[in-house]
Amino acid sequence: MPIYEYYCPKCKNEFELMRPMSQVGKPVLCPKCGRKSQKLVSASASKTGSYVQPPARSAFRQKP
């Protein structure tokens, strides 16, 4: 299951959730305040050999 990053505009909380791809479009509630959160766009890491290599530059994340 992929890990998705979310942002709560109400309490400014950023958090991650592991969700099945079939649920990616469904709403997510903030674990702090319980309000609806928005999914962030982020970079992904890639596996080369026996270790995970992070992106060469900082992750692109866009807060709504």
Determine what percent of the chain falls in helix, strand and coil, rounding each to the nearest 5: 5, 35, 60
Predicted confidence (pLDDT) at residue 6 exceeds the cutoff of 80? yes
pTM of the entire predicted model: 0.66
Of the pLDDT bands very low, low, confident and very high (cuts 50, 70, 90), residue 36 is: very high
Question: Is the CB of residue 7 less than 8 Å from the CB of residue 63?
Answer: yes
What was the pLDDT predicted at 3? 86
pLDDT tens digits for range 20-30: 989 988 999 99
